[in-house]
Each structure stands twice: as structure tokens, then as C-alpha cells.
């Protein structure tokens, strides 16, 4: 069995919880309140800036030239292609960008988790930590596409992006790289890869839940 098959089995309960969470079920129906989707898009735009840099850093650490080029391209897509989607939504829905530069606690935690893994762990561990953002989004996009009424859903562009064949190609490529490097590394590193894959998958759940709750930092007067 491939490393990614085993890893997905480990996060199946998390994935099932993602499909059942209000953010996803309401987005599927097109009934997700606009303010919650706005909060999500603002946080996601901030997340993608650093996610793209983490992917580029993985490319820089890669000894395989083609892998390096592909991870540079993954980073480019995160910074340019997906941010274009955010730009479309910001214009289409007239989003208020007043707080668009405020990073919420979950987004902050996810960003710094990935940065620390990329900086201090072997490259294969960093690759495993970034994989859920590719793979879970593709699975969720396909799931929503299978049940959504697209003609009446205001979030059609978002659904279409993550259920597209183009996005699927990138996911398959990332999975293939992780499987190959998992075969070549040590048992200790494979265990660590599994741990960070599970943690990142849990953070994907937390990211959507934080958006649904519009969760920001709590401030206290001293």
C-alpha cells in the first residue's frame, strides 16, 4: 500500500467531520452566510501568501530538479492563480477589506506550523505537511460538486476551482512525489510524515470552523 493510502486512512475521521461541518454543508447548498464566506476568503488569502512561500522553500530544498521545479510551480499557483479567485470574489461580492490584513488565530497557527516544519524538518516531512491543503480541498471540491445545485449556488467559482481537472493534476503530482520520497526515507521520517499529515488535516478542519465562527483573537484589558 502506498504511503498516501495509509495516511488517508488515518485522517478519514477528520475528513468525514469536514464534510459534515456547517461551513461545508451550507456552502454546498449555497446558503452559507456571506459574512462567513467573506471571513474565510480574507483568511485564506493571507494563508495562501505564506503557503506559496513554503512550497517554494520545499522546491529550494529539493535535490530532484523536476521536483524542485514542480514545487516552485505549486507555490506560484498558490500565490497567483488561487489569489485571482479571491480577487474575483472580493469584487463580485463587494467584500469589505478593512480587516483583510488581520490574521486570525487558526490561520496564524496553521501558517507557522508549516513554516516551522519547512525550516526545521527534512524535506519529505515538509512535503507531507503541505499535502492535506492540496488533497482535502480536491476531495471536498469533488464532493460538493456531486451534491450541489450549481446553477443556484453563489459559490460556484470556488467549487469549480477545487473540483477542476487542472487542480486534480497538481494533487496527483504532489501525492506521487510524497509516495516516492516516503519509499526512500527512513522509518522514523515516515512516522513523522504521518504525524504532520494528520496535524495539517486537523488544521484544515479548524480553519473552516474558525471561518464559520468568525474567530479572531480575544483581547483583554489590563
Tell me the average pLDDT across 113-117. 98
CA 170 – CA 76 distance, rounded (Å): 12
Whole-number pLDDT of residue 222: 40
Domain ranges of the chain: 3-94+101-213
CA 120 – CA 202 distance, rounded (Å): 21
Which carries the bigger pLDDT value, residue 23 or residue 166? Answer: 23
CA 180 – CA 170 distance, rounded (Å): 15
Tell me the average pLDDT across 169-190. 95
Whole-number pLDDT of residue 98: 54
CATH architecture of the domain covering 3-94+101-213: Up-down Bundle (1.20)
Q: Nine-digit cell at 50?
A: 505564506
Residue 166 reports pLDDT greater than 60: yes
Least confident range from 3-12, 16-25, 39-48, 189-198: namely: 39-48
If phi > 0 it is left, if psi is from -120 to 50 it is alpha, else beta; for residue 94 that is left
Indicate whether this model's pTM tops 0.75. Answer: yes
The pLDDT tens digits of the residues spanning 63-91 come to 888 988 989 888 888 777 666 766 777 77
Whole-number pLDDT of residue 64: 87
CA distances in angstroms from 96 to 39, 40, 41, 85, 89, listed in the order given: 10, 13, 11, 16, 11
Phi and psi angles of residue 153, each rounded to the nearest 5 degrees, phi first: -100, 125
Query: DSSP label at 154?
Result: T
Residues 6+ apart with CB under 8 A from 139: 15
Tell me the average pLDDT across 133-160. 91
Residues 6+ apart with CB under 8 A from 209: 21, 23, 106, 215
Percentage above 70 pLDDT, the chain: 91
Whole-number pLDDT of residue 220: 45
CA 68 – CA 55 distance, rounded (Å): 9
Q: Nine-digit cell at 156?
A: 460556484
DSSP output for 49-89: HHHHHHHHHHHHH-SSHHHHHHHHHHHHIIIIIHHHHHHHH
Under the banding of pLDDT at 50, 70 and 90, the label for residue 97 is low
Burial (Cβ within 10 Å: 0-12, 13-18, ≥19) of residue 201 = buried
Amino acid at each position: 500500500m502506498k504511503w498516501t493510502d495509509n495516511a488517508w486512512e488515518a485522517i478519514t475521521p477528520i475528513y468525514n467531520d469536514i464534510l459534515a461541518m456547517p461551513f461545508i454543508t451550507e456552502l454546498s447548498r449555497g446558503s452559507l452566510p456571506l459574512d462567513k464566506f467573506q471571513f474565510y476568503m480574507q483568511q485564506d488569502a493571507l494563508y495562501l501568501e505564506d503557503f506559496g512561500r513554503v512550497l517554494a522553500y520545499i522546491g529550494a530544498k529539493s535535490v530532484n530538479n523536476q521536483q524542485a521545479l514542480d514545487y516552485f510551480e505549486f507555490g506560484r499557483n498558490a500565490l497567483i492563480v488561487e489569489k485571482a479567485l479571491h480577487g474575483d470574489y472580493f469584487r463580485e461580492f463587494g467584500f469589505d477589506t478593512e480587516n483583510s490584513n488581520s490574521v486570525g488565530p487558526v490561520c496564524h497557527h496553521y501558517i507557522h506550523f508549516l513554516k516551522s516544519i519547512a525550516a526545521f524538518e527534512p524535506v519529505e516531512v515538509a512535503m507531507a505537511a503541505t499535502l492535506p491543503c492540496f488533497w482535502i480541498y480536491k476531495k471536498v471540491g469533488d464532493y460538493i460538486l456531486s451534491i450541489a445545485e450549481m446553477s443556484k449556488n453563489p459559490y460556484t467559482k470556488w467549487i469549480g476551482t477545487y473540483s477542476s481537472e487542472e487542480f486534480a493534476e497538481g494533487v496527483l503530482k504532489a501525492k506521487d512525489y510524497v509516495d516516492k520520497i516516503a519509499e526512500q526515507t527512513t522509518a522514523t521520517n515516515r512516522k513523522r510524515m504521518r504525524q504532520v499529515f494528520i496535524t495539517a488535516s486537523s488544521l484544515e478542519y479548524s480553519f473552516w470552523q474558525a471561518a464559520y465562527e468568525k474567530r479572531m483573537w480575544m483581547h483583554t484589558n489590563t
